[in-house]
Amino acid sequence: MSQFIFKIIAIGDGTVGKTSIIRRFVHEEFNPKYVKTIGVSHALKRLFIGDNDVTLTIWDTGGQELFDCVRPQYYRGASGGFVIFDVTNKDSFDHLDKWFNDLNNQCSGITIIVIGNKIDLEADRVISTEEGEQYALQKGVKFFETSAKTGENVIDVMEELAKLILSERKVKTSEKTKKTVDKAT
Ligand code: G3D
Ligand code: MG
Tens-digit pLDDT string for the chain (185 aa): 899 999 999 999 999 999 999 989 987 666 645 445 445 567 889 999 999 999 999 988 766 665 666 677 788 899 999 999 999 999 999 999 999 888 888 888 899 999 999 999 999 999 999 999 999 999 999 999 999 999 999 999 999 999 999 998 866 666 666 666 666 66
pTM for the model:
0.89
Identify any residues that bridge with 89 across adjacent strands, giving them in sequence order: none
Instruction: Please report which ligand is nearest the Cα atom of 120.
Output: 1
The pLDDT value given to residue 127: 98
> Residue 33: what are its φ and ψ, rounded to 5°?
-90, 10
Buried b (16+ CB within 10 A) or exposed e, 105-144: ebbeebbbbbbbbbbbeeeebebeeeebbebbeeeebbbb
CB 146 within 8 A of CB 20: no
CB 30 within 8 A of CB 148: yes
Instruction: Please report which ligand is nearest the Cα atom of 40.
Output: 2
The pLDDT value given to residue 102: 85
120 lines ligand 1 (CB under 6 A): yes
Q: Is 89 exposed, middle or buried (0-12, 13-18, 19+ CB in 10 A)?
A: buried
156/183 Cα distance (integer angstroms): 40
Q: Could you tell which of 20, 58, 99 is best to mutate to test the pocket of ligand 1, judged by most ligand atoms within 8 Å of the CB?
A: 20
87 lines ligand 1 (CB under 6 A): no
18 lines ligand 1 (CB under 6 A): yes
Ligand 2 centre distance from Cα of residue 81 (Å): 15
Query: All domains of the chain, ordered by start, with CATH?
Result: 2-184 (3.40.50.300)
21/86 Cα distance (integer angstroms): 12
The pLDDT value given to residue 63: 67
The pLDDT value given to residue 74: 84
Buried b (16+ CB within 10 A) or exposed e, 77-88: ebbbbbbbbbbb
CB 20 within 8 A of CB 70: no
Q: What atom in ligand 1 is closest to the CA of residue 117?
A: 23
